[in-house]
Structure 1
Amino acid sequence: MKETIYTVRLLLKSSFDRIRNENLKKNALQAIPFWIASIITGLFAVLYTKLFNEAEGFASYVFNHHGWMFFILSPACFVLAWWIIHKFATYARGSGIPQVMAAIQISSHKTNHIVDKLLGLRIIIVKVFSSLVMAIGGAAIGREGPTIQIASSVYKIVYQLLPKWWPKIAKRNMIVTGAAAGLAAAFNTPLGGIVFAIEELTKTHFSYFKTAIFSSVIIAGLSAQAFLGPYLYLGYPKVNDLSSYIFLSVALVALISGLLGSGMSKIILIIFKWKAKFKFTYHHVFYVAGCALIIAFLAYFVNQEILGSGKDLMQKALFTPAKYSLWYTPLLRIIGPLLSFTTGAAGGIFAPALGAGASVGSLIAGWFQVSDTNANMLMLAGMVGFLTGVTRSPFTSVILVLEMTDRHNVIFHLILAGMVASLGALIIDKHSLYDHLKVQYVRDLILEEEKIKQKENNEEEITTAETGLKE
């Protein structure tokens, strides 16, 4: 009897060990693609960051030494950047975040092969080239949105390269995780990447893919830091010794910034709707060149702060005595991204939105003549508010600004700014710019798919009819 019990125990132990080993092997194999894609994403983010900074530096050099050349350089770059998108990859235009959102939605449908039009190697190449050309032309664009689409494309490519015997991984989870890793590597904000994935990209229960996101964000961030160092996107602004009534000013700045961010998004959508009526290519060329000339004119005759992503403007306002913006600076920081984004070339709106919000906070700080630390607080609130007005993701905006500045003592101020801006933005539109563009991309892709199927059916009917006639 004892021998029988002993044998049964051995068999149970052996079975348990075998099951445990199989699960361990499966989990390890499922994790490897995420790790590989994370390292590649980190390297891509570093290379893209350096190239983008060089492009912006070149634009600044040309403007400061030969300002008149911008009336030639800017239109040429804008048109070339638009042509690259128009010719090689239509869905590489703009920020890239709506395309990722559309890819996540489509990936769960039977027609998920059309995700290839939104994410892939072609998208990466075209996205990088078009956005760099735009940056050389002085466009008010950022690299963060494009980095997210690039990262999701990397994860999708890795997913496609997996052999058939590999443990099954959901394509949707790969795309979501790639977007989170891309944002983390672009801003050096790991928590921001995680919150972005939860708040903006998916409605799936977080427990289904939390391990993949955590590990991917960490690996992508560490890979980027290995080359760029443990930097802060903006630095350490002073926000100590704040006024007891600063909450009121924070709420005011957040409300105005949220309304302006949502308003800019609304105008962008109106322009896109108007541009959809263009019948000929030269209409688009004239519009793109016109946008470039307006930006060049304003930069040359008014103020060059309209140029670039706005990061220099934020750092100047936060870390120098020049705390207060001129009355027209917020207008320039809204007009620049609006014109640049609506060209149809590649370029993000994350950083420009932060720059616009900072200028709003700086302007209002000048109205009330507050101290330097209070002015910094209002600029951070404006950044959160404007980005929330564009994205409708208040917690992502809060965490991003918090991690970019490492100012944890003002977390409640930033949360207040995010919530007030989110409520204020609803007055202009119930949905974010990204939501509207995502819906448009999904609709366009489905219509394209239906046209292809209709064409194939027509060709098949013609072939059948011809065969019948011959018979």
Structure 2
Amino acid sequence: MVFIIWLRLHLKKSFDRIRNENLKKNALTAIPFWIASVITGLIAVLYTKLFVAAENLTGYLIGNHSWLLFILMPLCFLTAWLLVKQMAPYAKGSGIPQVMAAIQISGPRNGEKVNKFLSLRIILVKVASSLVMALGGGAIGREGPTIQIAASIFKMVYQVLPKWWPKISKRNMLVTGAAAGLAAAFNTPLGGIVFAIEELTKTHFSYFKTAIFSSVIIAGLSAQALLGPYLYLGYPKIDSLSPYVFLGVLLVAVISGLLGSSMSKLILAIFAWKAKFKFTYNHVLYVAGCAIIMAGIAVFIDTGVLGSGKELMQTTLFTSAKYSAWYTPILRITGPLLSFTTGSSGGIFAPALAAGASVGSLVSGWFRLSDANSNLLILAGMVGFLTGVTRSPFTSVILVLEMTDRHSVIFHLILAGMVASLVSIIIDKHSLYDHLKVQYIKEIESHEEIEELPDEEKDVPVEKDRDKE
């Protein structure tokens, strides 16, 4: 009897010890994610405020001294390009392909290679170059850059962990950082989670679902603490829809999906053409030429070619100016095409959404639809065009739903995303991000050998060795 009592007490103590050790380990494992998430939220807010201030200053100059664009835009475009070229070549573009490449090559011996895509230098150059582009009226967004910035923050937090810290998968840190960055940029937590699953990883979600949920929530709450709760766009009127409006959704999805994929194909073609430039002055002429063309369009045709396009989305969704001119989609494609191919920093998420909104607005004008039906087609266009660029229909749908809080039309938007995804294959089987990711990895491989994680190791949540770059 005494032996049984002793055995029970001993087993209870052992169980408590094991439970406490597991609790301690789980807590220590979660802390790096939480710290990185708070930093991500704070930096995302600061970056947002600076980006908006740059766009507002450009708007002031356009309204009062439009002729200054012919000086300001070439100066800003060239400065933004030079910052990237001289200081951090892989800070160019949106940043999402760089994050995808870093995740793919995040093997134990690839620390220096990953540093080329994600680092403090990347953050500083990314912010500086994109802000200069925004000041110059470039048709860029801040969402893609925020994702690369967030992944860099998570990587740096990972690197400073002491050797005795419980092992954490670097790959999971990078994926979670990217998701937290998207959530903080758009204030769309579900969008960040779906983006991580659909776009960034094939790893079993169960391995890091706690980390990604908590990081997305913390990053979003940190941003909201300073910006307050907000929707990226607002609450468009969606009621009394026609029972036949799904036909318009199908039409918009086909057009926007094809246009989004075509714009991506053109961007890749321009990059391939630019790669043949032998001298620096060729690049200088190209960047300056893009700036002057955009300035000319803005001054003599329509200022809608400039900026991220958020103003166009808000105008078509929340004012009586529902119907865009026939040339508006052309402008909203031309702006990102010229801005993105300069080689400076800047995202394509928001410009793609704006281009899609212009398509939906144009089609609704063809049939003189009511405000509610027009708004639905505008949202469908946003989903369709973004899907054409990214080939991530569910991410596109969730982002638009969370930006507008219009969950009653979820089935219409899923239809738009799936149709756009299918028709986009006609232009290209792969997304713009996939092509750029492969290109970046090949560039790195041309200099040094890359160790990619074998497929069987990619599903393992713990790395055998945390490299200290």
Q: Where on the TM-score scale, by shorter chain, does this alignment land: which range?
A: over 0.9
Residues 386-401 of structure 1: pairs in structure 2 closer than 5 A:
386-401=385-400
Query: 1:241-252 residue pairs with structure 2 within 5 A?
Result: 241-252=240-251
CA contact under 8 A between 1:194 and 1:214: conserved in structure 2? yes
Counterpart CA distance in 2 for 1:374 and 1:448 is 54
Matches within 5 A, 1:30-429: 30-108=29-107, 110-429=109-428
The aligned residue for residue 9 of structure 2 is 10
- The letter for the 2-side match of 1:340 is S
Give aligned pairs, total: 450
For 2:146 and 2:238, how far apart are their aligned partners in 1? 30
- Residue 454 of structure 1 corresponds to which residue in structure 2? none
Equivalent pair of 1:106/1:112 in contact (CA under 8 Å): no
Q: How many angstroms does 1:283 deviate by?
A: 0.7
Matched residue of 2:12: which SS? helix
Paired residue for 1:467?
none
The whole-number CA distance in structure 2 between the counterparts of 1:356 and 1:381 is 11
Alignment partners' CA distance in 2, 1:201 and 1:312: 29
One-letter amino acid matched to 1:82: W
Structure with larger RCO (C-alpha < 8 A, sep 6+): 2
Task: Give the direction of change, closer, same or farther, for the CA distance of 1:381–1:289 in structure 2 (3 Å limit).
Answer: same
Q: Distance in 2 between matches of 1:17 and 1:422?
A: 52
Secondary structure of 1:448's aligned partner:
coil
What is residue 431 of structure 2 aligned with on the other side? Answer: 432
CA distance in 2, matches of 1:409, 1:218: 24
Tell me how far apart the structure 2 counterparts of residues 296 and 142 of structure 1 sit (CA, whole Å): 18
Structure 2: how far apart are the matches of 1:175 and 1:396?
18
Letter in 1 for 2:410: I
Q: Percent identity?
A: 75
**AA of the residue aligned to 2:372:** T
- Whichever residue aligns with residue 153 of structure 1, its letter is S
Q: Quick one: distance in 1 between partners of 2:320 and 2:217?
A: 36
Give the Å deviation of 1:341.
Answer: 0.3
Partners of 1:6 and 1:274 lie apart in 2 by 81
SS of residue in 1 equivalent to 2:447 = helix
Name the CA distance, whole Å, in 2 between partners of 1:448 and 1:96.
Answer: 21
CA distance in 2, matches of 1:259, 1:287: 27
Following superposition, the deviation at residue 13 of structure 1 comes to 1.1
Structure 1 position 447, deviation (Å): 1.1
TM-score between the two structures when normalised by the length of structure 1: 0.95
Q: C-alpha separation between the residues in 1 aligned to 2:304 and 2:59?
A: 10
> Please, which runs of 5 or more residues in structure 1 have no aligned partner?
452-471
TM-score scaled by structure 2? 0.95
Displacement of 1:8 in angstroms is 1.2
Cα offset for 1:9? Answer: 1.2
Preserved contact between residue 192 and residue 396 of structure 1 (Cα < 8 Å): yes
Q: CA offset at residue 441 of structure 1?
A: 0.6
**Structure 2 counterpart of 1:330, one-letter code:** P
Q: Distance in 1 between matches of 2:445 and 2:295?
A: 38
Aligned AA (2:349): F
Q: What residue identity is the alignment partner of 1:350?
A: F
| Equivalent residues of 1:255, 1:420 under 8 A apart | yes
Alignment-mate amino acid for residue 176 of structure 1 = V
CA distance in 2, matches of 1:306, 1:241: 33
* Alpha-carbon shift at residue 113 of structure 1 (Å): 2.8
- What CA distance in whole angstroms lies between the structure 1 residues aligned with 2:127 and 2:289? 23
Structure 1 residue ranges (4+ consecutive) displaced by more than 2 angstroms after TM superposition = 108-113
Amino acid paired to 2:263: M
Query: 1:462 is matched with which residue?
Result: none
Aligned-pair CA distance for 1:448: 1.7
Q: Distance in 2 between matches of 1:211 and 1:284?
A: 46
- Structure with max Cα Rg: 1
Q: Residue deviations 1:327-366, cap 9 Å, x none?
A: 0000000000011000000000000000000000000000
Paired residue type of 2:275: A
Shift of 1:109: 5.8
Deviations 1:380-417 (A, max 9, x none): 00000000000000000000000000001000000000
Per-residue CA deviations over 1:173-199 (Å, capped at 9, x if unaligned) read 000000000000000000000000000
| Whole-angstrom distance in 2 between the partners of 1:200 and 1:381 | 20
Please report how far the alpha carbon of residue 105 of structure 1 lies from its aligned counterpart in structure 2 after TM superposition.
0.1
The residue aligned with 1:29 is 28
Distance 1:434 1:110 in 2: 25
Letter in 2 for 1:186: A
Unaligned runs of 5+ in 2: 451-469
CA RMSD of superposed structures (Å): 0.9
Distance 1:19 1:305 in 2: 62
- Whether the 8 Å CA contact 1:358–1:383 is kept in 2: the answer is yes
Match of 1:386, SS state, is helix
- The 1-side partners of 2:140 and 2:292 are apart by 16
Cα offset, 1:446, TM superposition:
1.3
Q: CA deviation at 1:108?
A: 2.9
Q: Tell me, what secondary structure is at the counterpart of 1:293?
A: helix
Distance 2:150 2:441 in 1: 20
Deviations 1:305-326 (A, max 9, x none): 0110000010011000000000
2-structure distance, mates of 1:125, 1:192: 26
Give the Å deviation of 1:100: 0.2
